[in-house]
């Protein structure tokens, strides 16, 4: 921690985040940049050496806890003013977070894990992997973009360096709407025409509403359920006979029209040959009295 204090006398790299001083004051940025430089000199860049990932997880928590971002709503927002902290505060907070992260990582996790990079809409056989259970919570069709929340981490760790990269990533994600991911909707071409009737009628109702940008949002909803249909279709290639699926999803509304995510995904599962399909409410969401989270479950029986 002593090294970064010497770095404070110099100017250091900061990410190209638009209006960055809405996130952090100039003084806070100077401290974060100096600390980052000191960490890089000792541990290397995050993408160069994963042996020190816990250090960078600590740094990522630090940048958010010293920012003006608030996560007390369905989507991130900003406080009216940025917060100023002294050097001693940063030291104490960083070491406190690091201690928490290290203690959390001490526990032994049984079993074997593997992280694979694959397009979830086009899953092919993965190194002869077969699974008997799928538990996941995909994005909801509510235009809340994950990349919007993740951008500060991605920028500070240099996994992205400019704004268009965030939009490109979100375009590849199911339900992505950030930046160009929205503007590209008008030129998007459908791959699968045989979608369940209830999906088609829901999209039609949104398009025919008198809401602002209703045509664009109708395409967004169509693409979401189209991509989820492709996902559920391609997923079958890696499922064992009797495999169980559990999807935590949320419904949404557009211009007063209910998008019943659980029912629409259940329809896709049924069309694709899944069985024992059911859904139950997991919890009521705090953003709207009509919105809930559901667990949609199903079983796959190989022919």
pLDDT digits (tens, 9 = 90+) for 164-190: 999 999 999 999 988 898 899 999 999
Residue from 262, 246, 60 nearest 141 by CA = 262
Q: How confident is the model at residue 157 (pLDDT cuts 50, 70, 90)?
A: very high
The C-alpha atoms of residue 172 and residue 121 are separated, in whole angstroms, by: 10
pLDDT digits (tens, 9 = 90+) for 44-79: 999 988 889 999 999 999 999 999 887 655 556 666
Q: Dump the DSSP string for 27-93.
A: HHHHHHHHHHHHHHHHH--TTT-GGGHHHHHHHHHHHHHTSSEE-SSSS-EE-SS-----HHHHHHH
DSSP H/E element including 188: none
- What angle is formed at CA 188 by the lines to CA 118 and CA 260, rounded to 5 degrees? 75
The C-alpha atoms of residue 15 and residue 32 are separated, in whole angstroms, by: 11
Q: How confident is the model at residue 142 (pLDDT cuts 50, 70, 90)?
A: confident
pLDDT of residue 198 exceeding 70, the answer is yes
pTM, two decimal places:
0.88
Are residues 299 and 245 in contact, defined by beta-carbon separation less than 8 angstroms? yes
CA distances to 15, 24, 35, 48, 144 from 10, rounded to whole Å, are 16, 18, 12, 24, 38
Q: How confident is the model at residue 84 (pLDDT cuts 50, 70, 90)?
A: confident
pLDDT digits (tens, 9 = 90+) for 202-251: 999 999 998 999 999 999 999 999 999 999 999 999 999 999 999 999 99
What tokens were used for 237?
A: 């290639």
Tokens 């009295």 belong to 289
* Predicted local confidence at residue 76, as pLDDT: 61
pLDDT digits (tens, 9 = 90+) for 278-297: 999 999 877 667 899 999 99
């Amino acid at each position: 921690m002593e090294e970064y204090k010497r770095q404070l006398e110099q100017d250091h790299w900061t990410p190209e985040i638009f209006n960055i001083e809405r996130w952090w004051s100039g003084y806070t940025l100077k401290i974060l940049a100096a600390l980052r430089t000191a960490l890089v000199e000792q541990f290397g860049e995050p993408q160069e050496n994963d042996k020190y990932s816990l250090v960078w997880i600590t740094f990522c928590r630090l940048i958010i806890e010293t920012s003006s971002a608030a996560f007390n709503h369905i989507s991130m927002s900003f406080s009216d003013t940025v917060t100023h902290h002294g050097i001693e505060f940063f030291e104490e907070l960083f070491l406190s977070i690091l201690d928490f992260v290290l203690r959390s990582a001490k526990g032994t996790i049984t079993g074997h894990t593997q992280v694979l990079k694959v397009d979830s809409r086009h899953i092919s056989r993965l190194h002869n992997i077969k699974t008997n259970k799928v538990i996941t919570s995909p994005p909801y069709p509510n235009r809340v973009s994950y990349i919007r929340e993740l951008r500060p981490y991605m920028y500070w760790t240099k996994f992205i360096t400019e704004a268009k990269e965030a939009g490109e990533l979100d375009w590849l994600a199911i339900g992505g709407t950030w930046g160009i991911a929205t503007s590209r909707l008008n030129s998007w071409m459908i791959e699968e025409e045989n979608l369940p009737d209830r999906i088609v009628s829901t999209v039609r109702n949104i398009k025919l509403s008198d809401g602002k940008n209703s045509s664009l949002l109708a395409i967004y909803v169509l693409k979401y359920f189209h991509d989820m249909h492709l996902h559920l279709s391609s997923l079958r290639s890696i499922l064992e006979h009797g495999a169980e699926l559990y999807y935590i999803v949320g419904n949404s509304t557009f211009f007063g029209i209910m998008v019943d995510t659980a029912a629409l995904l259940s329809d896709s599962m049924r069309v694709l040959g899944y069985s024992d399909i059911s859904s139950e409410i997991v919890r009521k969401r705090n953003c709207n009295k009509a919105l809930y989270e559901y667990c949609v479950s199903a079983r796959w029986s190989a022919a």
